[in-house]
A and B are shown apart, each in its own frame.
Chain A
């Protein structure tokens, strides 16, 4: 087994990055769904 140094810092950095990106992506998608219900279809045909 190879000893890994600074495991806690590495885990916190990677997990924190995943959490921030994941939370932001979920917020954008959920808000997009909520607003899509308010805006008429002809205003939201994406290319």
Chain B
């Protein structure tokens, strides 16, 4: 997932062209021995690689299976009727919304400790994809609620806390777009990023802690209340949405890395222009 060259960093409050640090969240570049591309291999003009193509192919295949099982093979539920088919998307999307928050919080903590741009890029990728999955969770949940509860929205503990988490993710991403020193911006965002995981835990536990219209966990118990083809469809949902999540995470991380590099190049160019302006004119001119 990480770039394989021992390249530059715009770590912390560094605004100079200092280039000592490793590029990725996992530390220094390790080259081909770590599964990386050869230093002499051509760099692709995109964020893809052989690994992401395999991952993308697996995601598409599992999505096709999910459509088959979720919309055709799975029977209707005794209580929810066919609206249960929305659960095969809604539940995995909610789970990977949590995963995005976990990644953002852990990467934020590492950024605050190590100040390498890879961790910052990973935190941003996790939060952004977490927001995408939060939107899917809220959308499919509302569409499921209308035929089941008779309303698209109610100020239930689970729904409200999920909406607050989505707003928090939005705020985190807005903070990352502030036009200030990159290091300070990343640090401020990282502090907010540390709160994402506790908030996700509140969302997850809300149906246990407060009286809620939302149903409790279906799978995380000793006697799951779902079985047969419905269970297979839900598991396929986890597999397909999980693979899509991983594929998006790798590409978004690499995009974040490119954004760091691009910002550093812009800064270098601006500093060079400023230095050129400061050079005194030669005598006789």
Contacts and interface: CB of A to CB of B under 8 A. Distances in A.
Contacts of A21: 132, 136, 244, 248
A5 B78 CA distance: 12
A42 to B, nearest CB: 5
B262 interface: yes
A39 to B, nearest CB: 5
Given A13-B144, A46-B47, A28 B255 contact: yes
A9 B89 contact: no
B2 interface: yes
Interface residues of B, number: 57
Given A6-B81, A13-B144, A47 B4 contact: yes
B258 A39 contact: yes
Contacts of B2: 46-47
Given A10-B86, A13-B86, A46-B44, A29 B143 contact: no
Interface string B149-168: 00000000000000000000
B136 A17 contact: yes
A47 B32 CA distance: 8
Contacts of A1: none
Contact of B85 (A10, A31, A32): A10
Contact of B251 (A5, A20, A28, A38): A28
Interface string A7-47: 10110111011001100110011011101111101111111
A46 B93 contact: no
Q: How large is the interface on A (under 10, 10 to 19, 20 to 34, 35 or more residues)?
A: 20 to 34
B135 A46 contact: no
Contact of B3 (A14, A38, A45): A45
Interface in B233-270: 244, 247-248, 251-252, 254-255, 257-259, 261-262, 265
A6 to B, nearest CB: 5
A25 to B, nearest CB: 6
21 contacts: A5-B81, A10-B82, A17-B89, A20-B132, A25-B247, A33-B47, A36-B43, A38-B262, A39-B265, A42-B43, A43-B8, A43-B261, A44-B3, A44-B44, A46-B2, A46-B37, A46-B48, A47-B3, A47-B4, A47-B34, A47-B49
Interface of B: 1-5, 7-8, 23, 34-37, 39, 41-49, 51, 67, 70-71, 76, 81-83, 85-86, 89-90, 93, 132, 135-136, 139-140, 143-144, 146-147, 244, 247-248, 251-252, 254-255, 257-259, 261-262, 265
